[in-house]
Amino acid sequence: MRAVLCSKFEGADALELGEAPEPVPAADEVLIEVHAAAVSFMDKLMAEGGYQLRPELPYVPGTDAAGIVLQVGSEVIDFKPGDRVVGQMWHGSYAERAVTKHWKCAKVPESVDLTVASTVLHNYMTAYHALVQRCALRPGETLLVTGATGGVGLAAVDMGRMLGVRVLAGTGDTAKMSALQEAGADAVVNMREGDLRKQIQDLTDGNGLDVCFEMIGGDTFVKIARSMRWGGRITPIGFVSGEIPNLPMNLPLLKGFSVVGVFEGAWAEKFPSEAKDAADKIMNWIAEGELRPLIDRVLKLEDASEAFRSLNEREVIGRIVLQV
């Protein structure tokens, strides 16, 4: 079958269109005819060798695939051939066919386009697990999302808007600020210019943040930690800066806030029925128009390298999707 192959951990330059073996579903898996595959920062990081998971080379990148069920394993009872589904996997979606665990799939309502559906699970499951389950975000609280113009960041902005909180969206690109306001942010924080802590204090009337969905890491994480209010929750989602923060532990002690760990992929594997219920709930919210995923552009499967380069150049708002 046609697939994008990564032959070296060298990112965009190591991707090429080729032939991969046909995947065969195990007893608890679903085989999907892929119509659309979303491109994530995690996909790029893995292809560069910078992610904690390093697949055996060569491998097929891609974490999210939407399409039609072709075959199910003997233990699968909740899906059947012909179902419209979206599935999440560690890698393998940049191909004509892909397999994933049945509990990592969700049915796609007829009113939701498969291209849109392909952008949902990795983004919105991360936002849901972090904001709803781990941080127990409540209506009326103030949420800061850093790295807010990427797929996961925009999903967190969108989820916060739907949940009725005041959303502050952080970006270092002034050209993208209007897109964040259109996505539902109440205010935008400039992460590159001005005093970050002063901006947060001004936007919260000196009270600080209730929750931070933090994706930058490094010194940014520590600065925001100093801007949390009593009882706040800061959750490290990723380290786009390339630096893992060193947090002085007297800060949560003195300020009474919590550092809340979030690893959506591990949660989904440890609690599969809980994750499946969350995925179904998210798809229904999208079908009802409560959540509004943003697609940056749609490319051909063979243009995966271009997609990775656009991510490198920080040109993307939302998700790029590969049409298969």
Residue 276 falls within a domain, yes or no? no
DSSP symbols for 222-276: HHHHTTEEEEEEEEE---TTS------THHHHHH--EE----HHHHHHHSHHHHH
What average pLDDT score do residues 251-258 get?
Answer: 91
pLDDT at position 265 over 90: no
Are residue 168 and residue 111 in the same domain, yes or no? Answer: no
Instruction: State the residue range of the domain holding 226.
Output: 123-264
- Model confidence pTM above 0.85: yes
Are residue 235 and residue 314 in the same domain, yes or no? Answer: no
Are residue 249 and residue 146 in the same domain, yes or no? Answer: yes
Q: Could you check whether the bond before residue 23 is cis, i.e. omega within 30 degrees of 0?
A: no
Residue 274 falls within a domain, yes or no? no
Strands across the sheet containing 142-145: 187-190, 166-171, 142-145, 209-214, 228-236, 258-259
Nearest to 296, CA basis, from 134, 123, 137, 62: 123
Range of 90-94, 187-191, 194-198, 238-242 with top mean pLDDT: 90-94
Are residue 51 and residue 169 in the same domain, yes or no? Answer: no
Are residue 230 and residue 166 in the same domain, yes or no? Answer: yes
Are residue 233 and residue 300 in the same domain, yes or no? Answer: no
Residue 279 falls within a domain, yes or no? no
Amino acid (1-letter code) at residue 207: N
Tokens of 19: 């032939």
Are residue 115 and residue 185 in the same domain, yes or no? Answer: no
- Report the alpha-carbon distance of residue 215 to residue 239 in Å, rounded: 6
- Report the alpha-carbon distance of residue 143 to residue 162 in Å, rounded: 12
The number of folded domains in the chain is 2
Residue 82 falls within a domain, yes or no? yes
Residue 8 falls within a domain, yes or no? yes
Are residue 128 and residue 260 in the same domain, yes or no? Answer: yes
pLDDT at position 264 over 80: yes
Largest CA distance in the chain: 58
pLDDT in tens, 128-182: 999 999 999 999 999 999 999 888 999 999 999 999 999 999 998 887 888 898 8
Residue 269 falls within a domain, yes or no? no
What average pLDDT score do residues 267-289 get?
Answer: 92
> Partners of 214 in the beta sheet?
236
pLDDT at position 186 over 80: yes
CATH number at residue 131: 3.40.50.720
Are residue 145 and residue 54 in the same domain, yes or no? Answer: no
Residue 285 falls within a domain, yes or no? no
Are residue 230 and residue 161 in the same domain, yes or no? Answer: yes
pLDDT for the residue numbered 238: 85
Q: What is the percentage of the chain residues whose pLDDT exceeds 90?
A: 81
Are residue 112 and residue 128 in the same domain, yes or no? Answer: no
**Would you give the DSSP letter of residue 150?**
B
- Report the alpha-carbon distance of residue 257 to residue 225 in Å, rounded: 8
Q: Which of 264, 283, 305 is the last residue of a domain?
A: 264
Tokens of 102: 């049945």
Residue 65 falls within a domain, yes or no? yes
What average pLDDT score do residues 254-264 get?
Answer: 92
pLDDT for the residue numbered 243: 85
pLDDT in tens, 96-116: 999 999 999 999 999 999 999
Are residue 99 and residue 209 in the same domain, yes or no? Answer: no
CATH number at residue 33: 3.90.180.10
CB neighbour list of residue 81: distance below 8 Å, 6 or more residues apart? 69, 70, 71, 72
